[in-house]
């Protein structure tokens, strides 16, 4: 309990250094395991759930989704993929052009870099689970709108419930502030202000790091991402 309190104090002090005078919306919920964004709660019975079946149902919902205008411009919705019993989960921002064409997450140049990181950590890509905050490609590779993030969050929340990973690595600012329930609060914060800390999402450690697309443009920060990956490895049981 003492360590948990120390962790909470550290996180609160971190928010203070970022200029917050009050806790961001959703912080308490994410800290103690409640929903960060209003959505219908799902509770799975661990002794009886069929993980594969639950994921298949979820993916079918994603493929048929028409909840926001992105469904009109996308070529393919992009579901998560990988080991549904994974201990390690990666959450990115949104599909890019290559992902939209192939209907798979992280298959372009950024995907190659992510795969390289995964292998450097001692895993194969199929050992982990990879998904995005938003499941459809935003036109012109723009950042997802907050309305799109909120609409898609229920899918991400359910993915995390089904996978039940030991550790989540959030790739970039969008994934990080979504998991922390702080839409709008972190618009002007660079991921460099967030990485190096560990945040809770439903009591799962979330380790923020740079998005692979950013690292393609800023190779000097790769070593910081490797530091974050090592922190994730230390937390895996």
Higher-confidence position of 102 and 12: 102
pLDDT at 218 over 90: yes
pLDDT at 58 over 80: yes
3-state secondary structure of 91: strand
Instruction: Give the Cα-Cα-Cα angle 61, 67, 68 (nearest 5 degrees).
Output: 130
How far apart CA 159 and CA 81 sit, in angstroms, is 10
Please write the tens of the pLDDT for every residue from 74-93.
Answer: 999 999 999 999 999 999 99
Q: Mind listing the domains of the chain with CATH numbers?
A: 47-235 (3.40.470.10)
How far apart CA 62 and CA 58 sit, in angstroms, is 6
Higher-confidence position of 115 and 35: 115
Share of the chain above pLDDT 90, in %: 70
Q: What pLDDT score was predicted for residue 85? A: 94
83-92, 99-108, 178-187: lowest mean pLDDT where?
178-187
pTM for the structure as a whole: 0.80
Q: What pLDDT score was predicted for residue 1? A: 53
């Amino acid at each position: 309990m003492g360590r948990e309190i120390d962790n909470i104090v550290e996180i609160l002090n971190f928010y203070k250094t970022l200029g917050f005078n009050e806790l961001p919306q959703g912080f308490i919920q994410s800290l103690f395991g409640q929903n960060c964004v209003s959505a219908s709660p799902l509770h799975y019975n661990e002794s009886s759930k069929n993980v594969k079946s639950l994921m298949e149902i979820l993916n079918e919902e994603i493929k048929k989704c028409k909840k926001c205008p992105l469904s009109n411009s996308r070529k393919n919705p992009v579901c998560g993929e990988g080991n549904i019993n994974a201990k390690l989960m990666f959450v990115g921002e949104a599909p890019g052009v290559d992902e939209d064409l192939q209907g798979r997450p992280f298959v372009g140049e950024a995907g190659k870099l992510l795969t390289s990181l995964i292998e450097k950590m001692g895993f194969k890509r199929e050992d982990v689970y990879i998904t995005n905050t938003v499941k459809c490609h935003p036109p012109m590779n723009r950042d997802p709108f907050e309305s799109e993030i909120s609409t898609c969050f229920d899918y991400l929340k359910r993915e995390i419930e089904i996978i039940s990973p030991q550790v989540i690595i959030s790739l970039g600012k969008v994934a990080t502030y979504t998991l922390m329930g702080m839409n709008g609060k972190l618009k002007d914060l660079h991921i460099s202000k967030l990485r190096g800390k560990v945040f809770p999402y439903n009591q799962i450690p979330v380790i923020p790091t740079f998005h692979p697309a950013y690292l393609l443009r800023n190779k000097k920060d790769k070593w910081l991402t490797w530091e974050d990956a090592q922190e994730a490895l230390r937390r895996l049981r």
